[in-house]
Amino acid sequence: MGKITAEGNVEAINYEGFQLTRLDTVIGAARSNSLWPLPFATSCCGIEYMASMAPNYDIARFGMERMSFSPRQADLLIVAGTISKKLAPVLRQVYEQMSEPKWVLSVGACASSGGIFDTYSVLQGIDRVIPVDVYVPGCPPRPEQIIDGIMNIQALVKHESLRRRYSPEYKDLLDNYNIENDIDGK
Ligand code: SF4
């Protein structure tokens, strides 16, 4: 048998003259290195997120610095800051407008749990209205933590099966949120 090696991000079996790998692996590697983030920043955590784009942290080193402010051209929703209950339907609409496959990063205590604002007006975590893939702790998290969160998203994306979005488990997840799955046209 051939040798199993890692070529960049792609695990493959190499023989002289050709390389054998799986479609899942190639597409996972391509997707994980070309995420287009949509920043949904509402308060102080948003400022930390902006710092992660500045030259000293330089999120562009991943080659995916192209922020998208249109949900239709984004596949990573980054929610940074306090989300009021009034704003929750807007956040959900933005999520729904993004095409599959899509991922969500919750940055900071407010987005993840309401943070210190245990009040009538603040949503106690965005996972009450949309599914979240990775949570970044902190109030505020440092840019290094935000970048770590993005790298965790990349690891998820890289290893996600192409079939996951069609699976009954994924459909159940969306059903729990009353979100229509646009993949199977329902
Ligand atoms: S977690 Fe802290 S820093 Fe982030 S938005 Fe809330 S109060 Fe501001």
Q: Domain residue spans in the chain? A: 1-32, 36-176
**What beta strand segments (E) does 100-182 contain?**
103-107, 134-136
- Residue range 26-32: mean pLDDT, rounded: 93
* Atom 8 in ligand 1: residue holding the nearest Cα: 44
Helix axes 23-32, 143-159, angle to 10 degrees: 160
CB of 45 closer than 6 angstroms to any ligand 1 atom: yes
Residue with tokens 């695990």: 11
Distance between Cα 140 and ligand 1 center (Å): 5
Would you say residue 42 has pLDDT above 80?
Answer: yes
Q: What confidence category does residue 5 fall into, taking pLDDT thresholds of 50, 70 and 90? A: low
pLDDT tens for each residue of 91-115: 999 999 999 999 999 999 999 999 9
Does 110 carry a binding-site annotation?
yes
CATH class of the domain defined by 36-176: alpha beta
With CA atoms as reference, report the closest residue to 103 among 68, 75, 65: 75
Report the pLDDT value the prediction gives residue 63, as an integer from 0 to 100.
80
pLDDT tens for each residue of 132-143: 999 999 999 999
Q: Which amino acid is at 23?
A: L
Does 38 carry a binding-site annotation?
no
> Which has more pLDDT, 37 or 3?
37
Report the pLDDT value the prediction gives residue 183, as an integer from 0 to 100.
66
Would you say residue 2 has pLDDT above 70?
Answer: no
Does 45 carry a binding-site annotation?
yes
Would you say residue 161 has pLDDT above 80?
Answer: yes
> Which has more pLDDT, 1 or 60?
60
Residue 5 backbone phi and psi in degrees, to 5: -135, 170
Q: How far is CA 155 from CA 3, 52, 115, 134, 176, in A?
A: 24, 19, 27, 11, 25
Q: How far is CA 119 from CA 40, 75, 107, 123, 137, in A?
A: 21, 31, 19, 8, 20
- pTM > 0.85: yes or no: yes
CB of 110 closer than 6 angstroms to any ligand 1 atom: yes
- Residue range 55-59: mean pLDDT, rounded: 91
Residue 157's CB is within 10 A of a number of other CB atoms, namely: 22
With CA atoms as reference, report the closest residue to 92 among 122, 119, 120, 71: 71
